[in-house]
């Protein structure tokens, strides 16, 4: 009987305690962050979408080799003598045309390993994280500043230069002239 009354009392008492707790929560500040309207400050060094400053890129391919999921594709063409590609912002001379610099961000695992080896610090993680697309193709970002035609042209130029060089070499082998001056 004593147990029974105690149970009754305990039941009523604990319900009232619970109701008090929930009632006090009615007036507490809300924890919801209304995302599209309000955004939380991202932590420093947060890793999101990659960005490449192609003006600084020397086409060294180190980021592509560092990538664990092979999402970076880089193609380069050597510059022919006479072409001046300028220098990067930290003074390195550029010697390669970067004809293709594609990052398939759909594959990217946001590890940030590509960021560290870059000698000119031209690839880094931005704080942009809203870049969903309806088509997967749109997630392949093209960073090269050369148009396909230009890239083709550069390739042709280099090919021509190579052929020229090979031809000269062959000529030089065929009729060696000790006192030949260089040039065309």
Partner 1 sequence: MIPDKLAEFFGVNFLGYLIAAALPLFLWILPYALYAVYAERKISAFMQDRIGPNRVGPKGLFQTIADILKLIQKEDIVPSSADKPLFIAAPYVIFTGTFAAFAALPFSSIYIGSNINLGVFYILAISSFSVVGILMAGWAGNNKYSLYGAMRSVAQIVSYEVPALLAIVSAVMVIGTLNLNEISEMQTARFWNWWIFGGPLQGIQKFLLIIPMIIAFIIFFIASLAEVNRTPFDIPEAESELVAGFHTEYTGMKFAMFFLAEYGNMFVVSAISVSIFFGGWQSPFGYLGNSLGISWLVPFEQVFWFLFKGSFLVLIQMWLRWTLPRLRVDQLMTVCWKYLTPYAFVNLVLIGIITLI
CB 13 to partner 1: min, Å: 13
By the 8 A CB rule, do 78 and 96 touch?
A: yes
Of 2, 30, 136, 179, which one interacts with partner 1 (CB under 8 A)?
A: 30
By the 8 A CB rule, do 111 and 126 touch?
A: no
Give 40 or 174: the residue with its C-beta nearer to partner 1: 40
CB 79 to partner 1: min, Å: 56
Site stretch for partner 1 (CB under 8 A), options 5-13, 66-74, 81-89, 152-160? 5-13
**Distance between CA 123 and CA 63 in Å, rounded?**
8
CB 2 to partner 1: min, Å: 15
Give 32 or 177: the residue with its C-beta nearer to partner 1: 32
Q: Per CB under 8 A, does 19 bind partner 1?
A: yes
Q: Per CB under 8 A, does 179 bind partner 1?
A: no
Dihedral of CA atoms 84, 90, 96, 99 in degrees, nearest 10, equals -110
CB 40 to partner 1: min, Å: 16
Of 1, 2, 3, 29, which one interacts with partner 1 (CB under 8 A)?
A: 29
Of 1, 3, 28, 136, which one interacts with partner 1 (CB under 8 A)?
A: 28
Cβ neighbours of 151 (radius 10 Å) = 17
């Amino acid at each position: 009987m004593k147990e029974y009354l105690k149970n009754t009392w305990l039941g009523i008492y604990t319900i009232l305690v619970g109701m008090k707790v929930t009632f006090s929560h009615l007036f507490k500040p809300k924890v919801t962050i209304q995302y599209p309207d309000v955004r939380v400050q991202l932590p420093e060094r947060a890793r999101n979408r990659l960005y490449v400053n192609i003006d600084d890129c020397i086409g060294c391919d180190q980021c592509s080799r560092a990538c664990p999921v092979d999402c970076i594709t880089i193609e380069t063409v050597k510059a022919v003598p006479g072409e001046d590609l300028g220098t990067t912002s930290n003074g390195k001379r550029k010697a390669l045309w970067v004809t293709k610099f594609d990052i398939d961000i759909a594959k990217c695992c946001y590890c940030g390993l590509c960021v560290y080896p870059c000698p000119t610090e031209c690839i880094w993680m931005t704080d942009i994280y809203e870049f969903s697309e309806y088509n997967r193709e749109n997630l392949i970002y093209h960073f090269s500043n050369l148009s396909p035609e230009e890239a083709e042209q550069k390739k042709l130029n280099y090919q021509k230069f190579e052929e020229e060089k090979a031809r000269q070499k062959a000529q030089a082998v065929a009729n060696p002239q000790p006192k030949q001056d260089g040039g065309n």
